[in-house]
Structure formats: structure tokens, C-alpha cells
Chains A and B, each alone.
Chain A
């Protein structure tokens, strides 16, 4: 994938057409048209999050009452004030702490590995081109075509005790460790599932850097490696940050991959959540775990916003 010469740096993006209806309230119909999805999200995402947080702070009545009735145990607030009883119960549980560590570890490792592999694939395709580059890119995209349930199941079998690496090892007389039902298997599954999106986004980010910018760097005396480092990398920061944050949030909250591939315990928080909610019938505890996950995701999101704002300031395209 190579880019041809681009026009000069000032960008000209397609602006939305001005609303033809003049007048002070001309924007009302447009806002009306745009609101249904916002309303849907507000009701079915916004409200649950708010009542969820309130639930964890002990407000077990109101919208939370039905769930509480079905619960084995809840930790309601005493009087009017919030209580952190649910939090202390959950955090006191050693299993929860172990799950938390597993979740963070798997997320960090996946994000790092996926970013590196995606950059390697995208960079090779962009610079070397040719059929080999296209082939490698194409292969990396394949998981996009496969439902995650299937992918996770296939990986579970493949890295299991009768799977390919172990069988091959046995035939060659080597003892290959089994990764299914271990944390390593979860990481493999997450990488498998997250790679396509990362490759797509970073590839498109690199494609947006015209050849002439790399040529100009080499013309000034930079080797190809230096040109990539000083020109391509900074210019592809936004896609990289998007990839890192999306992958991070996605992995953190995942259920299917750890459920099918991971061990019974400790596993990722997504699995623990589902078990705590459904099997153990402790919705409030599950909600606490959810809030913890939201907080971690919030940190990642904040990093994303910060990186984006810095980028926008630099390129002066606001």
C-alpha cells in the first residue's frame, strides 16, 4: 500500500451543509432527528450506569429493588448516606484480587503485543509492498471474518492437551506446555481477536503518510529507519493510541475468550462478573466489580482524550 503525492498540508474536509432553514430555531429539527440513538443510549446505558454505581454504594431500593430481591445477599445503605460495605466485601475476597491482577496483566500484555505485531505488519506492507506484504496483511485480518465464539473455541482446542503444539512436540519428543485453561491461553486468544482491528487502523494511519515525506527525510540524510522513526511514527500516533485504548477496553471487559479458554480460577473479571451475577446471585457484588472495571476503563479513556487533544493542537487542524 503506497500513497501518492498529497496536496499541501492545509486540509480541506467536507463540511456538513448549513441547515437550509434559516431562523433562530432552525437547528431544532436536526437535533430532533439526531436524538433517538442518544435517547436509547441514555436510557439503556446511562441510567444503568448511574443506578449501578448507586447500587454499589448501598442504594438497593428503587430501580435496583427487583435485582436485590433475587439476590442471595446485599449490603444496603444504613439511613440516607452511601456505604462502602459492598466494596469492602468484594475487595476482601482474595479470589477477586487474583482476578483483578489477571485482568490487568492480560490487558497490558495483549495491548503491547498487538500494537507491536500490528505495527510490524502494517510497516512491512507499506514499505516493502509486493505480494508478500499484501498476503501478510490479509492473513492478519482473517479473525474479523470469524465470530469470536468460534475463534475462542478453536483456540481452546488448538492449544489444549491434545492440540497441535503439544502433539507436534510429542511427536518430536519435546514437552510442550499446555496453554488452554491457563492465563497464557487467554492472552493468545485476545491477541488473535484484537489483531485485525489494530492492523486495519494502523495500516490506514500509515497510508495517510505520503511517500514524499519519507523521501524528503531520506533526502536530508536520514536512513530509512530514522525516517520511519522521526516522520511516520509521530504522524501515526493517533491511530496507535486509538488501537491501544480500544484493544485495552475491549480486552478488559471481555467474556467469551476467557470463559472458553481460561481456567476456572483465577480468570478475568468479565467471567467473574457473569458468575457472580447469575450463578452466585450476588448482583451487588457483581456491580462493584463492574464499577472497578469502569474506573480502569476511565483511566484509559482519559489517556486517549489527552493524546488526541495534544495531537489536534500540534497539527493545528482544530
Chain B
């Protein structure tokens, strides 16, 4: 390469092609305008997201609310006492909790050992199982439920509690394998080796070290699974109605039949467990446990 001039690149000098001296501090107007636009869009988003919820919330306390007024003309708490004393709420609540607990427990038993295996061990078919479980999400939910219903008819599971539990548990499989698997996988092997080195047996190591460290991730998965079961409406409706009415499926009926005030009260009650539980795991969800679960290699 004797001919190559190694002191500078060939061709025209581009060093100052884009250079533009700026001796004076640029004005803040552009930045200000940008912030104002962002603020306006933020407010629009706020109305879009919260508007419907607030509107419904107000209705729960409204005695008389005539169109087109922005606020009710008179307020009352009567619908609250009505709903709480009505026939439907407590049984539906009880059933919702029972199904959700059963389904989540079943999911724990079935999925957590698998999550451990997939997070910390190597075996043929590991990737296949992971992707395969994930693939259940690839099927449109209602289509799946219809197909399951046909099988349930044959297995005599239609309109049974077991049927509902199975359907709800199915919905939690991905959450209860992927997220705990990522949690187990993130325990550094060096910590386990140090414990074995100190003399701990395998079971001891598992409970004191691995399980403890993966617990936050597992808790996130359990809470998300419980919520998914508690709020599950479609499958429960298809399989359980009309014998087993949970809170969400009752909502379907209320939405079309009941006055907006009762439905609104019911809705708020149904929201409370969701909000409380989600607030508890909020940090992990927004902090990336959820997204990390998707990155499992």
C-alpha cells in the first residue's frame, strides 16, 4: 500500500463540513414550546385513560344525574348499601376468590418445579417447552375457549368448578413458568457454590439460597397469576355460566341490566383487589421483572 497517503483520508476534507460555531447560548423558546406541547398531549392522554374511570366513579355516588350535566344534581350512598346487601355480591365475591386461589395454587404446584428446571438446568427440549408454552398466547383467547368447551363437553367438565379452575389455570401457565424461571436463572451460581462449599446439602441450598433469592420474582408471578384468575371473564363465562357466577361474569349481566349507579359500585368493588395487589408488585413490573421474563435465553 505504498501509494496510500496515511496522513489523511483520500478525497475532499470533510472535517468542517457540518461545523457551525455557536458563540451565543441558544434561546429557550423552542424547548419551552416542546414542553408545552408535551404537556398538552399528556393531559389528553390523562383524559383518555382516566376519564372513563372517573366518570364511572362519580356515577357510583349519584342520585340524580341528568344529561348533559357534567356532575350529578344530587348525591347518595344508597346504591352502596343496596349492592352490599344484595344477593349477588357476596356469593360472587366468594366464588371469585375460591376459584382464583385454587387455580393459582394448582398453577404453583404444576409450574414452579418446571420453572426451576427451565431456569437452572439443561435438558433436551428445554427451549421447545418454553416456546411451546409461550405459543399458547398465540391463539386468540375466545377461539381457544370454544375449542376447550367441546372437549369439556366430552369430559363432562362443562359447567363444573373443576372446569373453571382448569381454564383459569391455563391462563396463568406462561406467567408462572417464564417469570419464575428468569428469577431462578438470575441466582448467580457462585452463591450456590459457596453454600455447597460451606457444607450445605442440596435441599438446604435450595431453600436457603436459590428459593430465597428468586422469591421476589416468584411473588410477582403469583400476584399476577392470582389477578389474572380473579379478573378472568371470558373463559369463566363460557364454561361456568349459568351455574357459577364470579364477580367479572356478573359484571356482564349488570352492564346491560342494572342502573349505572349499581354497576358502578360493583365495578369499584371489583377494582379494589386489583389495585391493591398491583400497587404491591408495581415496582417489579415497571422495574423490568416482566420485561426480563421475556428475555429468558
Residues from 119 to 152 in B contacting A, C-beta threshold 8 Å: 119-126, 129, 132-133, 135-144, 146-151
Instruction: Please give me the residue from chain B that is nearest to A42 by CB atom.
Output: B132
CB pair A47–B151 under 8 Å, yes or no, is: yes
CB pair B136–A156 under 8 Å, yes or no, is: no
CB pair B270–A31 under 8 Å, yes or no, is: no
Within 8 Å of chain A (Cβ to Cβ): is B18?
A: yes
Within 8 Å of chain A (Cβ to Cβ): is B105?
A: no
Within 8 Å of chain B (Cβ to Cβ): is A204?
A: yes
A260–B46 Cα distance when bound, in Å, is: 22
CB pair A168–B144 under 8 Å, yes or no, is: no
CB pair A153–B255 under 8 Å, yes or no, is: yes
Within 8 Å of chain A (Cβ to Cβ): is B166?
A: yes
Within 8 Å of chain B (Cβ to Cβ): is A95?
A: no
Within 8 Å of chain B (Cβ to Cβ): is A49?
A: yes
Binds B, one of A58-66, A82-90, A228-236: A58-66
Chain A: interface residue total (CB-CB under 8 A) = 109
Within 8 Å of chain B (Cβ to Cβ): is A149?
A: yes
A253–B137 Cα distance when bound, in Å, is: 11
Instruction: Please give me the residue from chain A that is nearest to B69 by CB atom.
Output: A167
Residues of chain A contacted by B24 (CB below 8 angstroms): none
Within 8 Å of chain B (Cβ to Cβ): is A14?
A: yes
A301–B136 Cα distance when bound, in Å, is: 11
Query: Do A49 and B147 contact each other (CB < 8 Å), given the known contacts A66-B154, A170-B67?
Result: yes
A-B CB contacts (within 8 Å), total count: 310
Residues from 209 to 263 in B contacting A, C-beta threshold 8 Å: 230-231, 233-234, 237-238, 248, 251-252, 255, 260, 263
CB pair A154–B267 under 8 Å, yes or no, is: yes
Residues of chain A contacted by B17 (CB below 8 angstroms): 221
Q: Which of B68, B123, B144, B248 contacts A170 (CB 8 A)?
A: B68
CB distance from B12 to the nearest CB of A (A): 15
Query: Do A51 and B285 contact each other (CB < 8 Å), given the known contacts A34-B118, A287-B146?
Result: no
Binds A, one of B1-9, B84-92, B107-115: B107-115
Within 8 Å of chain A (Cβ to Cβ): is B291?
A: yes
Query: Do A154 and B56 contact each other (CB < 8 Å), given the known contacts A48-B150, A293-B143?
Result: yes
CB pair A41–B132 under 8 Å, yes or no, is: yes
CB distance from B226 to the nearest CB of A (A): 12
Residues of chain B contacted by A55 (CB below 8 angstroms): 150
Given contacts A44-B148, A301-B138, 9 further A-B contacts (CB under 8 A): A14-B185, A27-B124, A34-B117, A37-B110, A148-B233, A164-B55, A192-B49, A255-B141, A277-B149
B residues in contact (CB < 8 Å) with A:
17-18, 34-35, 38-39, 41-42, 45-46, 48-53, 55-56, 59, 67-70, 109-111, 113-114, 116-126, 129, 132-133, 135-144, 146-151, 153-154, 166, 169-170, 173, 176-177, 185-186, 188-189, 192, 230-231, 233-234, 237-238, 248, 251-252, 255, 260, 263, 267, 270-271, 274-275, 278-279, 285-286, 288, 290-291, 294, 297
* Closest 9 pairs (CB-CB, A-B): A253-B140, A290-B143, A27-B123, A158-B52, A167-B68, A147-B231, A48-B147, A204-B291, A52-B147
A residues in contact (CB < 8 Å) with B:
13-14, 16-19, 27-28, 30-31, 33-38, 40-41, 44-45, 47-49, 51-52, 55, 63-67, 70, 117, 120-121, 124, 128, 132, 135-136, 139-151, 153-159, 161-164, 166-168, 170-171, 192, 195, 200-201, 204-205, 207, 221, 239, 242, 245-246, 249-250, 252-256, 259-260, 269-270, 273-274, 277-278, 283, 286-287, 289-291, 293-294, 296-298, 300-301
